Structure 1
Amino acid sequence: MISPPSFFSVPGMLDSQANSRIRFRMLRYFQALADELHFGRAAAKLNISQPPLSMQIKELEELLGVELFERTSRKVVLTHAGKVLKAEVDRLLSATEQSLNYVRQIGRSEKQHINIGIIGSAMWGPLLTRMKAFREANPDVNWTLHELGQQEQTEALRARTIDIAINRNVIPHVEAKIRCQLIAREAVCVAVHESDPLCRHATVTLKDLADRAFISLSFTHSDFARQVYDNCLSLGVSPLVTHQVFEPQTALALVSTGNGVSLLPESCALIHWPGVVFLKLAETIPADLYALWYDEPLPDLFSRFLHALRD
């Protein structure tokens, strides 16, 4: 008589048991080594010594029944199975981090707290007035402002480390899962030194600025700066950019010492920098302000805050 198969001989049961012994720590250690392809650097990145890393990788390979790395005295290389696992682990750990941060985001809304990513040029104009009105109507609500570049804001929204971002001219560049709402329409104007002959005119054209040194916001820090530059090119002027800075205040400081002119959102005129005059630009270059958030069901607190910004 043939005996029925034992529990341990059922197909897939051994794999299931081995899988249950794989911990997130093993996967994170594997990810670090797969990124660095060097045990010493990976251990330093994880802030551990090398032996525990080696032991975790060896145990992971034994549980999976495959070699994930080819090791020689000179180098560490991913096997084909290792490359496949690397792609899956990157996806898994990223999704897990997003899910955990989303739960934290829900917790922030329950505690009446909003994390806001903001660019420096948005600090003037209608935004802060509307935020102040919202706080007066909701005295239990607090927020933290994080000054972030435009690309950093997108990454922070995706990671759920901020709840709402404030940005400029984002409509063509918003990724599919990020939504946006117009806060205020603005245009670009010209900041010049008060002794500049252009000050005799209420309005100037880009061609009037063609031979001037331009002080621009950083192209790497701000998509808006690149958009302003591209708008100038499309209107027939190639700006001579001599300085790139992170903040409008730095641009205005350089203008005030005669280092050039700067194209900035019109609300920056509210800064009242000594020695700087703002002139209207004949051509229209938009500097519209938007609020952005990740496309998931918004807690009531965040919805009310967005409504206040729109009003």
Structure 2
Amino acid sequence: INKVYAFEGEEIDSIRQKMYRLRAECMPVLNENKELVDVIFWKDAFKDRLETDVREKINLPVVIMAGGKGTRLKPITNVIPKPLVPVGDKTILEEIMNQFESIGCKNFYMSVNYKSDMMKFYLDHTEHKYDIEFFEEPKPLGTIGSVALLKDKIQTPFFVTNCDILIDQDFRDVYDYHIENKNDITMVTAVKSFHIPYGVIETGEDGLMTGLKEKPDITYKINTGVYILNPELINDIPENQFFHITDLMEVVKARGGRVGCFPVSENSWRDMGEWPEYLKMIKVF
């Protein structure tokens, strides 16, 4: 039997330690006959820690990558930039910033390019409880390249997030995980299942079939577009060059650094990068 389980009557602190150490989203509970009697989910095990009013706030900088053209959301992004696309009675950008503000983050750095004047005007005329500093990439610089413009401005670990996603997760847990594991980069990943509507055949080098799975579900960990970076990594980002976050991860790994993954459930991650996902997000709000 897989040892990722708890026993009936086991103290909740012991179960929490197992779940935290293993990054397990749920923990099967077995009786003395090793029969399944319950399943404890992360949110239930840590529900007292998820109450934002009782946990200590963290005031980490947040960098929002908001310079893209949002081509997959045309034609609406022909008129307004993707960060200002509404979800409910607020924009997606405000929902993201409000989530970070709720855990104590007050300082936002926003990388802008496409329709940047519209974003600046909107936020300058909107009431909010945090400070926003805009920095403009002179040309498209990839998923992390513009952060080179923040050299000497950030001295603590900081969040980086895309401007088109919402994750139902207390990001203080991500920060705790980042610090406790001494990571250089921590990437928030979502567990995503894909259904293959065909029989999948496995073959050996000789071309003979070694296995057959009928219409399987395949599970992957997907990059959600939310990260924590240590401040010294900004010096590894070349100035005014196209540079992806994956390039930075390779730099870190090449010198023996740590790139950690903090998983969240598939249902806790919402991405509005394309129309079908955006319409789903609207229904939620």
Structure-2-length-normalised TM-score: 0.24
Structure-1-length-normalised TM-score: 0.22
Q: Would you tell me which structure has more helix in proportion to its own residues?
A: 1
Q: Would you tell me which structure has more strand in proportion to its own residues?
A: 2
Instruction: Decide which structure has the larger Cα Rg and report it.
Output: 1
